[in-house]
Amino acid sequence: MTTTQYDDRLDALVKASTGELLAMIEQGLDHAPQSFETRSSAKQFKRLLDALHAKLRRHHAAGALSMDPSSSPPTLGSTNCRMLRLNAEHSTMLGILGHLCAECYAMSGLSPDEQELFILRARELVAVFRRHTAEEASLYYHTVWRDVGGEG
């Protein structure tokens, strides 16, 4: 993968949507030998991970999912229970993403097996991000629907 396939300036990457960042990361993983053959190409890939990390940190800090303080305590399957679980996932995702960011620079010096493990972890994280984003969107729309008089 050439470095011209995505903008390597972090400020521009931060403005990309989560979906766009995930697609760029997947593109880099699909071309893994080229993405990690040199320290410079690994740095390009790390910029994508850094941008995703920054976006998730902002999302988590903003408390994107907040419980209604007047609602009843969370029960299994309740909206508040789902919100608590999704909010708790942010810390885990940040930790895994931080670990991948730290490992990224070393990719060019790792054995093929270690590189494959890194790629597998990154692919798993992309899948977790996609599921997590879909669950947050579903929860948001379900809550809005209830608030305007839907089931509840």
Mean pLDDT of the chain: 80
Q: What CA–CA distance (Å, rounded) separates 40 from 45?
A: 9
Q: What CA–CA distance (Å, rounded) separates 51 from 56?
A: 9
Q: Which position has the token pair 């995505």? A: 6
pLDDT digits (tens, 9 = 90+) for 95-104: 999 999 998 8
pLDDT digits (tens, 9 = 90+) for 108-135: 777 888 889 999 999 999 999 999 999 9
pLDDT grade, residue 152 (50/70/90)? low
Alpha helices in the chain (DSSP H): 10-14, 18-30, 32-35, 39-61, 79-104, 112-147
